[in-house]
Amino acid sequence: MDSIVVTGGSELTGQIPIAGAKNACLALMPATLLTEEPLTLMNAPRLSDIKTMTLLLQSLGSEVQSLADERVIAMSSLGPLSTTADYDIVRKMRASNLVLGPLLAREGEAVVSLPGGCAIGARPMDIHITALEALGAEIELRDGYLHAKAPGGLKGARVPFRFASVGATENTLMAATLAKGTTVIENAAREPEIIDLAACLSKMGAQIEGAGTSTIEVQGVDRLGGATHSVVTDRIELGTYMLAPAICGGDIECLGGRLDLVTAFAEKLDAAGISVEETEAGLRVARKNGRVTAIDVSTQPFPGFPTDLQAQMMALMCTADGVSHLEETIFENRFMHAPELLRMGADIEVHGGTATVTGVERLKGAPVMATDLRASVSLILAGLAAEGDTVVNRVYHLDRGYEHVEEKLGAVGAKIERVPVE
Ligand code: UD1
C-alpha cells in the first residue's frame, strides 16, 4: 500500500482545479437503474469509490463505461437486471446501499447487503428502511441482507425522517420518482448533492419540488428517460484545498469553487483570519500574516459545518493561536485523526463528542497512519505545516476521495510525493 511523504514548510501559490463531487456522483450513478435509456455523467471524479460503484452496477447488469480520461461515465441499464447487491462489494463502500431505492422502484424487489459499521461509526440504515416501508415495501433482514419487496409497486406517501440522513433522502427520492402518486419527504437532507441528484432526475423526467429544502415533494411518473448531467463541484475537496494555504501560508485559487457550497465553512475561515474571495474562476484563499486565530466548530447537516471537513479543520487548529473546541455531532467515532496529530506534537484532548485543541507554534513531522478518508487528508495538511517529514501510511483511504492529491498540491509548491510500498 502506498505512502505519502510530505516535507513541511513551503508556502503554496497558484491554482488547484476542484473535481466533481464524489458523493454526488455516487448517488447519481445508481439513477441509471431507474431507466432503460442511457444516462451520461460529465465532470466525474477519478476515484476508487467511483470504480467500486461501477463494479456494483456492472454486477447488477448495467453497462458502465468510463470515457474521456475517466471524466465521463456513460451508463445504460437496459435489463434484465440482477436485484442482488453482494456483500463483497457493499462492505467496501457504504454508498453501495444507494442501489436499494432504484432497484426496488424498477424491479419491485432488491436484496442488498447491510453495509455494516465503519471506522467512523455504527451507521445503521433504519431511516432508509422506514422510508421505503412507508412507500409500501416489505423489508426483512436475513443472513446480513435486506430483502425488500414491493410486489404491487411502490406507492407515494408522507415520509417523515427522524434525522436528515443524506443517503436515506437519496434512496427515498429515487424510489419515489417511479412510485404511484405523491411522496412528501419531511426533514429531508438539504446537501448540494441532493439538489444535484434531483436536477438529474428531473432531466430524466421526474417531477420533484423542494430539493435543497427540508420538504421534498415527488409526483411519481410511469417511466424515466435518459439524460446527460454534469456533476456538481466537490465541496469537501474544495474545503480541503482551501485549508492548504490557510495552514502553511500562501495564496491559492480553487478553480470551480463556489461560496454557496461552503458558506458555513468559509465563515469559520474568515473568523480564523483567512481571507476568502470569489473570483471569476472560483474561490481565492490567502493567509497573509501571523498565526490563525482559534475558533470553535460544531458539525451539522448542511447548511451547517460539514462533518467531512472536521478532521481537516482540526489540523488547522493544531497551530492556531488559542484554544478551539471542535464538536462532532454527526458520527460517534470521528476523532481517530487526533491520536495521529498528537504524534506530530499537537495538543488535543478528546472528551466524548468534543475535541479541545490548544494551538502549538509548530508541528513536527512523524510517521502517521491514515484511518479513514478525511482523517488521511487532515494528516497531509498537518504535514504541510510541520517541521520535517511526515509519512502518511495506508493511503488507500485517500484514493477513495481525493484525485492525485500529491499532484494537485505539488503543482502549487508543496513538497509531497507518493512512495509505492510493496
Ligand atoms: C453521507 C456522505 C458522507 C457524510 C455524511 C454526513 C455520501 C456517499 N456520504 O453519508 O461523506 O459524512 O453524508 O454528511 O454521500 N443514520 C442512521 N440511520 C440511517 C442513516 C443514517 O442512524 O438510516 C445516521 C448515521 O449513522 C450517521 C448520521 O445518521 O450518524 C448521518 O448519516 P447520513 O446522513 O445517512 O450519511 P451517509 O449518507 O451515510
Q: How confident is the model at residue 284 (pLDDT cuts 50, 70, 90)?
A: very high
71 shares a domain with 37 = yes
207 and 104 fall within a common domain: yes
Query: What are 191-206's pLDDT values in tens digits?
Result: 999 999 999 999 999 9
Are 6 and 60 in a shared domain?
Answer: no
Q: How close is the Cα of 389 to the center of ligand 1, in Å?
A: 34
Q: Is pLDDT of 396 > 90? A: no
**Structure pTM?**
0.97
- If you take atom 36 of ligand 1, which residue's CA is the nearest one? 166
Q: Which atom of ligand 1 is nearest to the CA of 125?
A: 23
What residue owns the CA closest to ligand 1's atom 32? 165
Same domain as 376, residue 325: yes
**Total tally of structural domains belonging to the chain:** 2
Which domain covers residue 224, as residue numbers?
22-228
Give the pLDDT band of residue 121 (cuts 50, 70, 90). low
Same domain, 258 and 150: no
Helical packing angle, 166-177 and 192-203, nearest 10°: 10
Q: Which residue has the cell 455504527?
A: 122
Residue 116 CB less than 6 A away from ligand 1: no
**330 Cβ below 6 A of ligand 1:** yes
CA of 333 to the centre of ligand 1 (A): 13
Strand ranges across the sheet with 72-76: 63-67, 72-76, 39-42, 227-230
Asked whether 124 lines ligand 1 (CB < 6 A), one says: yes
Instruction: Report CA(43)–ligand 1 centroid distance (Å).
Output: 24
| CA-based nearest residue to 228, from 369, 32, 23 | 32
The whole-number pLDDT of residue 116 equals 67
Cα–Cα distance measured from residue 341 to residue 385, given in angstroms and rounded to the nearest whole number: 12
Which residue has its alpha carbon closest to ligand 1 atom 29?
A: 165
The enclosing domain of 113 has a CATH number of 3.65.10.10
Does one domain contain both 215 and 290?
Answer: no
Kindly tell me if the per-residue pLDDT of 289 is higher than 80.
no
What are residue 384's phi and psi, to 5 degrees?
Answer: -65, -30
> Which of 126, 129, 163 best tests ligand 1's pocket when mutated (most atoms within 8 Å of CB)?
163
Residue 308 Cβ inside 6 Å of ligand 1? The answer reads: yes
Residues 333 and 403 in one domain: yes
DSSP three-state, residue 152: coil
Q: Is the CB of 136 under 6 A from ligand 1?
A: no
Confidence of residue 118 (pLDDT cuts 50, 70, 90): low
Final residue belonging to a domain, choices 228, 248, 278: 228
Set 25, 118, 248, 254: catalytic member: 118
213 and 289 both lie in a single domain? no
Ligand 1 pocket, residue 148 CB under 6 Å: no
Please report the pLDDT score of residue 123 as a whole number. Answer: 76
Q: Tell me: pLDDT of 394 over 90.
A: no
What is the arithmetic mean of pLDDT over 266-283? Answer: 97
Same-domain pairing of 212 and 277: no
pLDDT, tens digit, 9 for 90 and up, residues 23-51: 999 999 999 999 999 999 999 999 999 99
Q: Please give the pLDDT value at position 372.
A: 87
Q: Is the pLDDT of residue 297 over 80?
A: yes
Single-letter amino acid, residue 116 = G
**C-alpha cell at position 162:** 427522524
- The mean pLDDT of the chain is 95
Counting atoms of ligand 1 from 1, which one is nearest the CA of 128?
23
Query: Does residue 127 line the site of ligand 1, with CB under 6 A?
Result: yes
Last residue of a domain, one of 183, 200, 228: 228
The values of phi and psi at residue 377, to 5°, are -75, -25
Give catalytic status of residue 118 as yes or no.
yes
What percentage of the chain exceeds 70 in pLDDT?
A: 98
Residue 23 in contact with ligand 1 by CB distance below 6 A:
yes
Q: Is 114 in the pocket of ligand 1 (CB under 6 A)?
A: no
Pull the grid cell for residue 78: 437496459
From the alpha carbon of 170, which atom of ligand 1 is closest? Answer: 38
What pLDDT is stored for residue 359 in this prediction? 98
* Same domain? 6 vs 56: no
User: Would you state the pLDDT for residue 395?
Assistant: 86
**Going by CA atoms, what residue is nearest to atom 19 of ligand 1?**
125
Same domain, residue pair 191 and 276: no
| 161-172 average pLDDT score | 98
288 shares its domain with 356: yes
